[in-house]
């Protein structure tokens, strides 16, 4: 049934009300008023009207809302008067009688009668009996918990809602270890390249840098105060350059110290494919068990590097050194095995 040209149909009311509701925040009670407007239109239609004027419909909606609020207020007033907080049937009846008093209802003149036989209620019963049932046209969603617009907005939900967090990272000890080793080898290779470049730059000129390096190593190996040692003259230690690395390596081996050039020497030789310098010829002979101390706080870190280095320096080792190496290798392998069995957590904590 159309509501005439002066008023849109019920569906359009709902849609335009929804359009009004969607942008921005909800104005005070707009949703309730929209729903009431539809209800009023339905009631008028059931009475017999075929069209409405917009202003008339709005006025009647206001009336309905006021009536509901007044009824509630009156009923709660009567309940409080009786010392209750929850209203019951009689509170509603009293409130209704108050309303109807001006209009008049049957048995209004009876005083002191039980409210059960109240005229208003009987009228309502009659009304319900006579009226045909017209349920509400649209499904009404659960009423929104209305927050007045003048209150500050809620913070972001993630600040107060705790949602469960799942640790998506699947830890695989073997893969982690392999990855670790691979990364260390990469770092080591980069370091070697850098050293090689430095050495190249140094050796292209004089052997002074080498001398100074050797001197530094010697000093470190000798455990004497490097600051108290006399500075070397350039070219002074030319002869001793050949000799000192041997001494140094022995000392290094015994003392387990880190020497700068020496560990890179085999790798450098491997990369260069043959020494270009006299000084370097001697270096590949030295195969020391070098202990890399990268100072990352984990024992396991140093081990794969040593293995890698030793593998590289396998060629041309002396028998003397080879034995030591083998022992070292065995030691390393045992250590690694122990690590994987005893400290699996350490591997994952990288």
Partner 1 sequence: MNHNPQSSDGKHDDDSALSDFLASLMDYAPTIPDELVEHYLAKSGFQCPDVRLIRLVAVATQKFVAEVASDALQHCKARQAAVVKDKREKQQKDKRLILTMDDLSKSLREYGVNVKHQEYFAGSPSTGIDPASREE
Task: Kindly list the residues in this chain that would bind partner 1 in the complex (CB under 8 A).
Answer: 4, 6, 32, 35-36, 39-40, 42-44, 46-53, 55-57, 59-60, 63-65, 67-73, 75-76, 85-89, 92, 96, 99, 102-103, 111-114, 116-117, 120-125, 127-128, 131, 133-136, 140-143
Q: How far is the CB of 17 from partner 1 (least distance, A)?
A: 13
Q: How far is the CB of 38 from partner 1 (least distance, A)?
A: 9
Q: Is 288 exposed, middle or buried (0-12, 13-18, 19+ CB in 10 A)?
A: buried
Q: What's the CA gap between 259 and 251, in Å, rounded?
A: 10
Q: What's the CA gap between 184 and 187, in Å, rounded?
A: 5
∠ CA 57-63-68, rounded to 5°: 130
**80/171 with CB nearer partner 1:** 80
**85/159 with CB nearer partner 1:** 85
**13/300 with CB nearer partner 1:** 13
Q: How far is the CB of 102 from partner 1 (least distance, A)?
A: 5
**29/327 with CB nearer partner 1:** 29
- CA end-to-end span of the chain, whole Å? 74
CA-CA distances (angstroms) from residue 314 to 191, 281, 310, 311?
Answer: 20, 16, 6, 5
Q: What's the CA gap between 138 and 106, in Å, rounded?
A: 36
Q: Is 79:68 a contact under the CB 8 Å cutoff? A: no
Q: How far is the CB of 73 from partner 1 (least distance, A)?
A: 4
Q: Alpha carbon 24 to chain centroid distance?
A: 30
Q: What's the CA gap between 217 and 244, in Å, rounded?
A: 9
Q: How far is the CB of 157 from partner 1 (least distance, A)?
A: 25
Q: Is 329:307 a contact under the CB 8 Å cutoff? A: yes
**35/241 with CB nearer partner 1:** 35
Spatial neighbors of 85 by CB under 8 A, at least 6 apart, are 79
**102/159 with CB nearer partner 1:** 102
Q: How far is the CB of 149 from partner 1 (least distance, A)?
A: 16
**137/270 with CB nearer partner 1:** 137
**141/273 with CB nearer partner 1:** 141
Q: How far is the CB of 158 from partner 1 (least distance, A)?
A: 30
Q: How far is the CB of 24 from partner 1 (least distance, A)?
A: 21
Q: Nearest to residue 349, comparing CAs of 180, 128, 135, 198?
A: 180
User: What one-character DSSP code corresponds to residue 5?
Assistant: T
Q: What's the CA gap between 233 and 164, in Å, rounded?
A: 69
Residue 161 Ramachandran class (φ > 0 left, ψ -120 to 50 alpha, else beta): beta
**56/191 with CB nearer partner 1:** 56
Q: How far is the CB of 176 from partner 1 (least distance, A)?
A: 58
Q: Nearest to residue 3, comparing CAs of 38, 33, 35?
A: 38
């Amino acid at each position: 049934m159309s509501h005439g040209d002066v008023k849109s149909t019920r569906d359009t009311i709902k849609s335009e009300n929804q359009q009004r509701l969607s942008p921005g925040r909800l104005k005070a009670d707009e949703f309730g008023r929209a729903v009431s407007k539809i209800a009023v239109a339905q009631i008028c239609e059931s009475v017999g009207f075929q069209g409405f004027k917009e202003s008339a419909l709005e006025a009647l909606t206001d009336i309905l809302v006021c009536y509901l609020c007044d009824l509630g207020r009156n009923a709660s007033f009567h309940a409080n008067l009786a010392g209750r907080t929850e209203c019951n049937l009689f509170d509603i009846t009293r409130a209704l009688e108050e309303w109807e008093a001006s209009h008049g209802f049957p048995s209004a003149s009876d005083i002191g009668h039980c409210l059960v036989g109240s005229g208003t209620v009987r009228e309502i019963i009659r009304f319900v009996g006579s009226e045909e049932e017209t349920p509400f046209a649209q499904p009404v969603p659960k009423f929104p918990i209305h927050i007045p617009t003048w209150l500050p907005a809620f913070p972001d939900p993630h600040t107060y809602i705790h949602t469960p967090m799942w640790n998506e990272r699947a830890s695989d000890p073997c893969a982690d270890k392999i990855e670790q080793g691979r990364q260390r080898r990469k770092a080591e290779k980069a370091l070697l390249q850098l050293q090689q470049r430095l050495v190249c730059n140094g050796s292209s000129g004089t052997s002074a840098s080498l001398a100074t390096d050797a001197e530094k190593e010697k000093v470190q190996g000798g455990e004497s105060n490097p600051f108290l040692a006399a500075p070397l003259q350039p070219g002074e230690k030319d002869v001793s350059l050949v000799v000192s690395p041997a001494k140094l390596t022995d000392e290094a081996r015994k003392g387990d110290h880190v020497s700068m050039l020496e560990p890179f020497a085999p790798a450098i030789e491997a990369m260069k494919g043959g020494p270009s310098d006299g000084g370097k010829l001697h270096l590949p002979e030295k195969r020391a068990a070098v202990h890399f101390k990268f100072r990352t706080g984990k024992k396991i870190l140093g081990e794969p590097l040593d293995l890698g280095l030793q593998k590289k320096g396998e060629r041309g080792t002396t028998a003397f050194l080879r034995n030591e190496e083998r022992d070292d290798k065995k030691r390393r392998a045992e250590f690694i095995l122990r690590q994987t069995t005893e400290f699996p957590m350490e591997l994952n904590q990288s």
